[in-house]
Amino acid sequence: MKVLDASFVTSATSAEAIPRDHVPHVAFVGRSNVGKSSLLNALTKRELARTSGAAGKTRLANLYKVMMEGGPGGPGHWTVYFADLPGYGYARGGRDSVQELRGIAEAYFEGGQPIAAVLHLVDSRHPGIQSDLDAAAWLQSLDVERAVVATKIDKLSRGERVKNLRELERQLGKAALPLSAASGEGLDDLWTLIARLTRQ
């Protein structure tokens, strides 16, 4: 697989601002500082992720358009939007922040755009954070494909890695894909998953 082009499109502050060009979306959801921006940049091999330009407004998502070549589904070009939803768990933390995320995300998901998958990013070093568990329970209720990505896996020893991944799977109901934006581990596997879900 090869990234042909990747660019920032918009910081959507309403459902009406979400592009409706039938290009599938992959939504990135996770706690603040879980590494969403680092992952977006690592996947596209570009300094792509940026902060919202809509100061003082609640944004639904920062949207990035990525054009790819090849991968599961055969040769040829294909395009996907990466939708970076606001992080939860910052400041207040706990269930209040998940409720806030739910309100924002529901507005995003009600936009009518095709959603190929939701990637739930969790910090592999800290299984069992309540806001992650609450977010997972809510994401399970959505009628959309869900995958769990365990970020910062390079920070763990081999023993910690095995233990934490097993615990995350038990807690979140899905095996987590171990990934490190810093070392590149797991990026190819994640691209394969994205391509399969987007092109199917």
What pLDDT, in 10s, does the model give residues 75-87?
A: 999 999 999 988 8
Q: Domains of the chain by range and CATH?
A: 2-199 (3.40.50.300)
| Angle between helix 158-172 and 130-140 (nearest 10) | 50
Q: How far, in Å, are 25, 38, 39, 83, 194 from residue 28 at the CA level?
A: 10, 12, 10, 6, 12
**In this predicted structure, what is the pLDDT of residue 97?**
55
Q: Which two three-digit tokens encode residue 127?
A: 């299984």
Residue 171 CA to its chain's centroid (Å): 19
pTM above 0.95, yes or no: no
Mean per-residue pLDDT over the chain, rounded? 87
What pLDDT, in 10s, does the model give residues 29-48?
A: 998 889 998 999 999 999 98
